[in-house]
Amino acid sequence: MYASNRLALRPTIALTAVLAFAAAPAGAGAPANAGAPAGPGGEELPRTWFDGAKTASELGITAFQQSPLLDDRNLPPVAERLPDDPVVIEPLRNIGKYGGTARIALDDSWQFFNWEPAVTIGADMRTTLPNLAQRWTISEDGRILTIYLRKGLRWSDGHPLTADDFGFNFNNIWMDKEMSPVTSRMVFGGTFVKIDDLTFQYVFDEPNPGFINFFAQYGSHFADPKHFLERYHPMFSNREALERYVKDEGFISWMALMVALRGWNNERAAEVPTLRAYRVKRRTLTMMRLERNPYYFKVDPAGNQLPYIDAVDAEIILDNSELVTAMAATGQLDFAAFSLRTQDIPLLKLGERDGVAKVLIWTRLHISDVAIQPNYNYADKKLANLLWDKRFRIALSHAINRDEMNDIIYFGRGVPSQVTVHPTSVFYDPANAARYANYDPDYANALLDELGLEDGDGDGLREYPDGEQLVITMEFLDFETPKAITMELVADYWRAVGVDLRLKQVDRSLQSARAQAGEMQMTLWHADKVMDVLFPLLPDWFVPHRAGWDIAMWNDWARYYQTKGRIGEEPPPVIKQIHRWNDQFREATDPAERMIAGQKIVDAASQNLWTIGTVGQAPHPVVISRRLKNVPTEGIWGWDNRWTLAYHPSTWYFDGD
């Protein structure tokens, strides 16, 4: 019938708590972590990475040191630049050494010097911990989050961090109709209330107890240096003068200028104050040079101001992961991970053999590296109805040989799985990960026959019952995970049971436009947002709650839900029920009620097979130079935990050549 060519693709070298936001009672700071202080591979990690960092006063630290780089810079003494009671970060292994310039690609800047939110994520990937904030409280009705900032925090230019910086961000970025014409559901219905310079509140019309998780995971996007950015906002400056300035600077609007400044996207990045461990020194078309932030608020247990490494050279390499891989393999980078792929591991190991690099194997948090999304709202109702028939999805799922896929793409190191929550989640059930996932082409063929999809002309491919050829086009953006090679295998498996799948790779702009317009028959993305940090807030794979370019199964139903029926398409009863459960899940302040609603959502996704999973929890290469120290040997890699946020890259240092 069909000759398989999939083997040609083989590489040449072969629950202890409820939700995090429920773990801390109202009025509490960071909850204690009951789990063992170990990473995903059993590597011992500092307990403070789970329970929360101590402060200098708690540890009796009274003397502080700075990097020699800052000597003779005409700065105030280090003790005056630190907050009143500095945060003490415990390194993974050793107290580090000052000095050196790290070589990275710009794509890895998000990981090499991570964000500094008010509330951060613990190493268990569930717990929220203090950071810029010393503590917080959540009202009993779940409507008010109160944040208490540490005293003496400063931006990299020495200006104090205050509640006004969070208020500017919320009122003039998130809620500004020009800057943010579409308001995020997580901040919708919210207002910002300043209590004093160090205390403020987010007050919501409806219960929003999960906002603390969003505040932690997306936290760097909740504070902006008002004293710097307000001059570029029409609320605080003359609009006509601002528009003339924007035009002279070559931007199409003040919003575009604001995005560039906030994202360090042009040569003026060096002017923008930051709270991160490094500040921009210079940006060109090919390189961004960063130096240590002299007002960074963290120290090590010896009183040394962090970070240890003095500077970072981030090379701007656009859309060329092959070049980044080659540079990592040949020792030209001190840290590389974001652009690397599982299939790069054999090449990267050659660099390790030559002694120029060290290849660490972390685990991607995606429960499925490729989550196949049928478009249930597709305009052609013949196809849409077929996709909505669960028997068709079950047949397609059983036609996939995930074990073989795991061997071919992942060297047997991945985990075949449907799309469900991550094993660290309190909602995880192995039965949900395994449902409809075994390779059974005979059963797949039987289901397709039952649907009346038969091969009438003898070409090995099935037709609709009316004789029209069944052809499905899969459009997708090949990014981050091995999507192209996965879909070549899937197309092969499906063709073997008579389903003609055509693959079409698209760029980011086309993916966004066509997915959000509902014009794709099928698309895909990697299944992140499956850890308890984000799943309760953004249940993308489980509930039609937002329309997106990455989640395109049911955008019309999501719009109906978001607008209470004003736009979109009325969903079927089963989806309406899921929407009701999601409302309970999002708003409930009782942990038991939230657990019940969340479990119903997860189980329904498994039973209905909204998406078709492949292989997940896959090995991800993290390449470091031999001189870079204190990097965890194993870690969890992905968006939910902001890649390295819980592993404290400010404590990484250089030793040796």
Instruction: Answer whether residue 355 shows pLDDT above 90.
Output: no
Same domain, 508 and 594: yes
Distance CA 510, CA 192 (A): 36
Distance CA 1, CA 460 (A): 6
Same domain, 462 and 502: yes
User: What pLDDT score was predicted for residue 528?
Assistant: 96
Distance CA 560, CA 562 (A): 6
The residue type of 627 is R
Same domain, 398 and 543: yes
SS3 content of the chain, % helix, strand, coil (to 5): 35, 20, 50
Last residue of a domain, one of 267, 294, 314: 314
Tell me the sheet residues that pair with 196.
199
Same domain, 97 and 139: no
Last residue of a domain, one of 268, 296, 314: 314
Q: Are residues 155 and 141 in contact, defined by beta-carbon separation less than 8 angstroms?
A: no
Q: Residue 170 gets which letter from DSSP? A: I
Mean pLDDT (the chain) is 91
User: What pLDDT score was predicted for residue 604?
Assistant: 98
Q: Residue 111 gets which letter from DSSP? A: H
For residue range 535-550, what is the model confidence (pLDDT) as tens digits? 999 999 999 999 888 9
Distance CA 587, CA 21 (A): 12
> In the structure, what pLDDT confidence band is assigned to residue 25 with cuts at 50, 70 and 90?
very low
On whether residue 622 sits in a domain, the answer given is no
User: What pLDDT score was predicted for residue 548?
Assistant: 87
Distance CA 189, CA 136 (A): 20
User: What pLDDT score was predicted for residue 266?
Assistant: 87
User: What pLDDT score was predicted for residue 451?
Assistant: 98
Q: What average pLDDT does range 632-638 have in this prediction?
A: 95
User: What pLDDT score was predicted for residue 656?
Assistant: 81
Same domain, 96 and 119: no
- Could you tell me which residue, 85 or 127, shows the higher pLDDT? 85
**Ramachandran class of 436: left when φ > 0, alpha when ψ lies in -120 to 50, beta otherwise:** left
Instruction: Answer whether residue 17 shows pLDDT above 80.
Output: no
**CATH number of residue 206's parent domain:** 3.90.76.10
For residue range 197-230, what is the model confidence (pLDDT) as tens digits? 999 999 999 999 999 998 899 865 799 999 999 9
Q: What average pLDDT does range 93-118 have in this prediction?
A: 94
Cis, bond preceding 307 (omega within 30 deg of 0): yes
Same domain, 52 and 76: yes
Distance of CA 394 to the CA centre of its chain: 29
Mapped onto helix, strand or coil, the DSSP state of residue 104 is strand
Q: Which two tokens stand for residue 316?
A: 């701007």
On whether residue 265 sits in a domain, the answer given is no
Distance CA 508, CA 514 (A): 10
- Could you tell me which residue, 169 or 186, shows the higher pLDDT? 169
On whether residue 511 sits in a domain, the answer given is yes
Residues spanned by the domain of 188: 21-31+115-225
Instruction: Answer whether residue 410 shows pLDDT above 90.
Output: yes
Q: What average pLDDT does range 520-532 have in this prediction?
A: 96
Same domain, 90 and 184: no
On whether residue 257 sits in a domain, the answer given is no
On whether residue 68 sits in a domain, the answer given is yes
Same domain, 187 and 204: yes
- Could you tell me which residue, 118 or 38, shows the higher pLDDT? 118
Last residue of a domain, one of 197, 225, 253: 225
Distance CA 444, CA 212 (A): 44
Same domain, 106 and 138: no
On whether residue 439 sits in a domain, the answer given is yes
User: What pLDDT score was predicted for residue 221?
Assistant: 78
Same domain, 496 and 395: yes
Sheet holding 133-138, edge to edge: 133-138, 144-149, 199-204, 190-196
Q: What is the DSSP string of 451-462?
A: TT-B-SSSSS--
For residue range 465-508, what is the model confidence (pLDDT) as tens digits? 999 999 999 999 998 899 999 999 999 999 999 999 999 999 98
Distance of CA 625 to the CA centre of its chain: 25
Q: Which two tokens stand for residue 129?
A: 């911990």
Cis, bond preceding 430 (omega within 30 deg of 0): no
- Could you tell me which residue, 399 or 4, shows the higher pLDDT? 399
Instruction: Answer whether residue 322 shows pLDDT above 60.
Output: yes
On whether residue 151 sits in a domain, the answer given is yes
Instruction: Answer whether residue 23 shows pLDDT above 60.
Output: no
Instruction: Answer whether residue 31 shows pLDDT above 70.
Output: no
User: What pLDDT score was predicted for residue 180?
Assistant: 84
Residues with Cβ within 8 Å of 347's Cβ and at least 6 positions away in sequence, in order, are 325, 329
Q: What average pLDDT does range 51-77 have in this prediction?
A: 97
For residue range 138-157, what is the model confidence (pLDDT) as tens digits? 999 999 999 999 999 999 99
pTM (2 d.p.): 0.89
Q: What average pLDDT does range 557-582 have in this prediction?
A: 96
User: Residue 220, CB half-sphere, CA atoms under 13 Å: how many?
Assistant: 16
Same domain, 439 and 492: yes
For residue range 575-629, what is the model confidence (pLDDT) as tens digits? 999 999 999 999 999 999 999 999 999 999 999 999 999 999 999 999 999 999 9
Number of domains present in the structure of the chain? 3
Cα-based angle 28, 34, 38 (whole degrees, multiple of 5): 125
User: What pLDDT score was predicted for residue 235?
Assistant: 96
> In the structure, what pLDDT confidence band is assigned to residue 125 with cuts at 50, 70 and 90?
confident
User: What pLDDT score was predicted for residue 32?
Assistant: 35
Q: Which of 288, 282, 276, 277 is nearest to 314 (CA)?
A: 288
User: What pLDDT score was predicted for residue 281?
Assistant: 96
**CATH number of residue 576's parent domain:** 3.10.105.10
Q: What length does the chain have?
A: 657
On whether residue 2 sits in a domain, the answer given is no
Instruction: Answer whether residue 30 shows pLDDT above 60.
Output: no
Q: Are residues 299 and 582 in contact, defined by beta-carbon separation less than 8 angstroms?
A: no
522-525/278-283 β-pairing: unpaired
Query: How much of the chain, in percent, has pLDDT values that exceed 90?
Result: 84
Same domain, 192 and 59: no
Q: What average pLDDT does range 59-69 have in this prediction?
A: 98
